[in-house]
Structure 1
Amino acid sequence: MARTRPTTLRLWRWRRNPLRRRSDIVEAWMLLAAGILVVVGGLLAGLVTQAGVERDLDRQRSVRQAVTALLVEDATNKPPAGAADDDRVWATAHWTALDGSTRTGQTKVRPDTPAGTRVTVWTDEHGHLTSKPVTHEEAQLQAALAGTLAAVITSGAVVGSACAARACLDRRRMEQWDADWARADTPRGGKTG
C-alpha cells in the first residue's frame, strides 16, 4: 500500500488556490504586518521610553542638591510618616536656598531627633524640598523596566488589534458562507423543502 504524504498548510493563504478568498489574502497581509509591528514597534517603543526615562532621571539628579537644614521642632511624639518609611516622622525645618532666601518646610527625620539638629534635605532648582535623587544605577534599572513595560504594552496592543481584526474577518467569512449555503440550497431560484 502506498503512503501518502500529509499536506502542510503553512503559508496556504499566499499560494494560488481556487478556494482562497479575498478575506484570506487580507488576513495573511494583516498578520504579516502585525508581526512586523510587534517586533519593530515594540522595540522602538521600548528604546524611546527607556531613553526618555533615563534622560529625565539624569536631569533630576543634576538639578537636585543636598542642603543642610536646621530642625525647628522636636520630632518626638509625632505619628509615623508612613508604613514604608522606616518609622520616620515629619518635622519642620529651616534651610537657606541657593538664592540666599530662607525657606521652611516639612522633612522626614528619625522620631528621636531634637529641635536644633542639623539634617540633610534635598532641594530642586527652585529651592523647594524634594526627594533624594536616584543613583545612576537605579536610574538605569528604572529606565530599563519602563522600556520593557512600554515594549510589552505596545506589542500587546498590536496583538489585540490583530485578534480583533481577525475576529471581524471570521465573522464576515461566516456571513459569506451562510449566503453561499443559502444559494446552494435553492435550485433554480426556488425554495426547497
Structure 2
Amino acid sequence: MAGDTPRAQPPPPDPDPGGHHPHLLFWRWRRNPLRRRTDRLHAWIALGLLLAVPAVAAAAMLAVGDTAYRHYRSAAEHEARTRDHRAAVLVHDAPRHPEPGSDEAKKARYPVEVRFPGPGGETRTGKTDVEPGLPADSTVLVWVDSAGEITDPPLTAEQIRSRTMGWAILAFLGVAVMGLAAHGITGLVLQRRNLAGWEAAWAVTAPRWCRLP
C-alpha cells in the first residue's frame, strides 16, 4: 500500500568473510563509508583471540600434560610396588587357532582359567590371556596385585608418554575450539546488533523515501 513502510534490508555482508583475497583481508581496519563500529569491534576481538588463543592453548597443553605425566608416573610407581609376576598353571587346554602358524595366530590370545599362589600361599584361580593351543598344566606368568587378583602389568614408559600426549593434545584442541566458538558467538551477536540498528535507522529514513508527491 502507498502508506506502508517497506521492510529494511540487511546491511551488506562482509566483502570477504573467508579472507581469501589479500586486498580485502584487513578491510575492517581501513576507513570506508560502509564500515560500522561493530565491524571495527569485531576486528579487535578477532585480533585479540588470534593472539590469545595460541598462547593460552600452549599453556593449557603444558599444564595438563605435566599434570597427566605426574599422575601416570605416580600410578606406574604404585603399580610396580604392589604388583608382581607369579607362575600360573593352565587348568585346561587353550583353544586352538583355526589357522595355526599364521601371523594372526602368533598375535592371537585366548582367555584361559589358571591356578596361581595367592598372597598367603593359598591356591587361587583366575583367567588370563595365553597363546592358542597351550595344553593343560602349562606354566605361564601372570601379574597379580596386592589383593591376589590377576591384573594388568604396571604402566610402561611408552604408555605414560602416550597417555600424557593424548591429554595434552585434548587440552590444546579444547582451548582452540573455545576460541573459535567465542569468535563465532561474537560475530552472531554483533550481526544481530547491526540488523537492529539498521531496522531502527530505516524506520526513520524510509518514510521520506516512500512519500508520494
Gaps spanning 5+ residues in structure 1: where? 1-5
Give yes or no for contact 1:78–1:90 (8 Å, CA) kept in 2.
no
Quote the Cα distance in structure 1 between the aligned partners of 2:85 and 2:119: 9
Quote the Cα distance in structure 2 between the aligned partners of 1:108 and 1:169: 60
TM-score where L is the length of structure 2: 0.66
Instruction: After superposition, give the CA deviation of every residue in 1:11-63 in whole Å (9 maximum; x if it has no partner).
Output: 728x9x9x652x34643453344334412331232123322332333233221
Quote the Cα distance in structure 2 between the aligned partners of 1:124 and 1:166: 56
Match for 1:61: what amino acid?
A
Deviation at 1:9, TM superposition (A): 4.1
1:183 equivalent in structure 2: 204
Match for 1:74: what amino acid?
D
Quote the Cα distance in structure 2 between the aligned partners of 1:138 and 1:93: 27
TM-score where L is the length of structure 1: 0.71
1:135 equivalent in structure 2: 156
Quote the Cα distance in structure 2 between the aligned partners of 1:33 and 1:101: 67
1:32-71 → structure 2 map (5 Å cutoff): 32-62=47-77, 63-64=79-80, 65-68=83-86, 69-71=88-90
Q: Indicate whether 1:170 and 2:170 are aligned.
A: no
Counterpart of 2:129 in 1: which secondary structure? strand
Instruction: After superposition, give the CA deviation of every residue in 1:135-165 in whole Å (9 maximum; x if it has no partner).
Output: 2134213312331232112211221232122
Deviation at 1:173, TM superposition (A): 0.9
Quote the Cα distance in structure 2 between the aligned partners of 1:133 and 1:101: 24
Give yes or no for contact 1:67–1:95 (8 Å, CA) kept in 2.
no
Match for 2:71: what amino acid?
D
Deviation at 1:130, TM superposition (A): 2.4
Q: Indicate whether 1:73 and 2:92 are aligned.
A: yes
1:152-163 → structure 2 map (5 Å cutoff): 152-163=173-184
Deviation at 1:134, TM superposition (A): 3.8
Gaps spanning 5+ residues in structure 2: where? 1-22, 99-103
Q: Number of residues paired by the alignment?
A: 180
Quote the Cα distance in structure 2 between the aligned partners of 1:146 and 1:74: 41
- Go from structure 1 to structure 2 and tell me whether the alpha carbon gap of 1:131 and 1:7 turns closer, same or farther (over 3 Å shift): closer
Deviation at 1:84, TM superposition (A): 11
1:1-150 → structure 2 map (5 Å cutoff): 9=26, 12=29, 20-21=36-37, 23-24=38-39, 26-62=41-77, 63-64=79-80, 65-68=83-86, 69-76=88-95, 86-98=107-119, 100=121, 102-150=123-171
Quote the Cα distance in structure 2 between the aligned partners of 1:162 and 1:7: 19
Deviation at 1:88, TM superposition (A): 1.1
Deviation at 1:87, TM superposition (A): 1.8
Match for 1:48: what amino acid?
A
Between 1 and 2, higher relative CO (CA 8 Å, sep ≥ 6) is seen in 2
Deviation at 1:8, TM superposition (A): 8.9
Quote the Cα distance in structure 2 between the aligned partners of 1:154 and 1:7: 28
Counterpart of 1:95 in 2: which secondary structure? strand
Give yes or no for contact 2:28–2:39 (8 Å, CA) kept in 1.
no
Give yes or no for contact 1:78–1:89 (8 Å, CA) kept in 2.
no
Counterpart of 2:128 in 1: which secondary structure? strand
